[in-house]
Amino acid sequence: MLSLGKLLELTLADREPAQKTQMTVSGTCLRWLAPGALEVRPHADRDNGLDLLLSAGIHGNETAPIELLDSLIHAIARNELQPRARLLFLFGNPEAIRRGERYVEQDVNRLFNGRHELSSGFEAMRACELERLAASFFNRPDRQRLHYDLHTAIRGSRIEQFALYPWKEGREHSRLELARLRDAGMEAVLLQNRPAITFSAYTYETLGAEAFTLELGKARPFGQNAEVDLTRLDACLRGLIERSAGVADGDDLTGLQLFSVSREIIKHSDSFLLHLPADVENFSELPTGYLLAEDEGTRWVIEEEGARIIFPNPKVRNGLRAGIVVVPHLPGTSAL
């Protein structure tokens, strides 16, 4: 196996490779760009016109997707997987990955779309570097741009594997991409309806990629992810990497649950109270009239029919999202 196939080992050891560019016997070029960053280019005769960015480890303790990308990189470096797509692999927060922590000083996935410019520290600098790497990768015209940012969640979920689809004014969500997510094992997709400061929001809103945050189960340490079944996602990614065209096969959404954001719960002060059990699962249903949260005179009471909560976290910094209230997406409320 080519030594650049050991990107995760290099990242965990905080080492630069002696050789920063290597070639497989079939003509695939691997190029180390920065800590946790590897570009893979197919031979020109094999290139299918797809630029595919795969990121994981934006939160350092979310190891299942890191292990998945590591297996794909190993397969490419052994020439077992022969890309037709141009690829960029990113391990988002190397220091947090080494420590096995979600983040060290601040959540990297709240520092995109210019938010890092308002902050300081190495994680803000890393968000800036990730934006630069993504922008450089997606700088070629007339190519399909696709980004999957792979995560696992702090808590359990009533719907274990789901995706978040960013939003930009005037841009429609793609049925083809939604169908591909379903085929990759996603049981539900949350269609966002406002700008965001996550990595996938940056590549979607600023760089014009089709981009998604994928939540793949509960976060566990390295080597303890046997319960996280990524078989369908692995097959989907290998298909995108190897096949002659980077397009979905159809737009049938049967079996895929769609949700829309109703409200975001923003924590404004240290007095914030979230009236949910500490072990509440994502997509837990909330009855109408339920007092969800309070903060210095502001009360969030559930008014929506069919409301559910995702990403509840009262420990976020003031000014950040402490939860999202979602509702089933109604047919006819968008182009879908």
Is there a domain that residue 142 lies in? yes
Specify the DSSP class assigned to residue 293: E
The residues, ordered by sequence, that sit 6+ positions from 315 with a Cβ below 8 Å of its Cβ are none
Tens of pLDDT, residues 2-40 = 999 999 999 999 999 999 999 999 999 999 999 999 999
Reply yes or no on whether the pLDDT at 294 is more than 90.
yes
- What is the distance between the alpha carbons of residues 84 and 95, in angstroms, rounded to a whole number? 32
Residues 153, 20 share a domain: yes
The answer on pLDDT for 261 being more than 60 is yes
Q: The domain that contains 217 carries what CATH number?
A: 3.40.630.10
- Helix, strand or coil, per DSSP, at residue 143: coil
Model pLDDT, residue 297 = 86
Is the same domain home to 49 and 160? Answer: yes
Section 182-208 average pLDDT: 96
Please tell me whether residues 18 and 65 are part of one structural domain.
Answer: yes
Clarify whether residues 120 and 231 are in a common domain.
yes
pLDDT of residue 334: 56
Shared domain for 230 and 282, answered yes or no, is no
> Residues 234-261: what's their mean pLDDT?
83
pLDDT band at 332 (very low <50, low <70, confident <90, very high): low
How many structural domains are present in the chain?
Answer: 2
Under 8 Å between Cβ of 207 and 141:
no
Tell me which residue range forms the domain holding 299: 262-328
Indicate if the pLDDT at residue 333 is higher than 70: no
What is the biggest distance separating any 2 CA atoms in the chain, rounded to whole angstroms?
66
Q: Is residue 336 part of a domain?
A: no
Q: Which pLDDT value is given to residue 245?
A: 47
235-256: average pLDDT: 79
Query: Where do we find the tokens 């979230």?
Result: 274
If you average pLDDT over residues 85-109, what whole number do you get? Answer: 97
The identity of residue 32, as a single letter, is: W
Spatial separation of the C-alpha atoms in residues 333 and 298, rounded to whole Å: 29
C-alpha dist (Å) from residue 175 to 133, 181, 193? 28, 10, 16
* Residues 211, 147: Cα–Cα separation, whole Å: 4
Give domain status of residue 90, yes or no.
Answer: yes
Same domain, 199 and 67: yes
Cβ proximity of 282 and 309 under 8 Å:
yes
277: tokens are 């059990």
Residue 111 shares a structural domain with residue 194: yes
Residue 246 pLDDT class (50, 70, 90 cuts): very low
pLDDT at 70 over 60: yes
Q: What is the pTM of this model?
A: 0.93
Q: How many helices (H) and strands (E) does the chain have?
A: 7, 16
Please tell me the distance from the alpha carbon of residue 8 to that of residue 214, in angstroms, as a whole number: 20
Quick check: is 215 catalytic?
Answer: yes
Whole-angstrom distance, CA of residue 30 vs CA of residue 21: 6
How many whole angstroms separate alpha carbon 190 and alpha carbon 329? 9
Residues 161 and 293 in one domain: no
Choosing from 123, 131, 215, 281, the catalytic residue is: 215
Reported as a pLDDT band with limits 50, 70 and 90, residue 154 is: confident
- Listing DSSP states for 98-109 in one string gives HHTSS-SSS-GG
Q: Is residue 313 in a domain?
A: yes
Q: Give the pLDDT score at 156.
A: 86
Residue 216, number of CB atoms within 10 A of its CB:
26
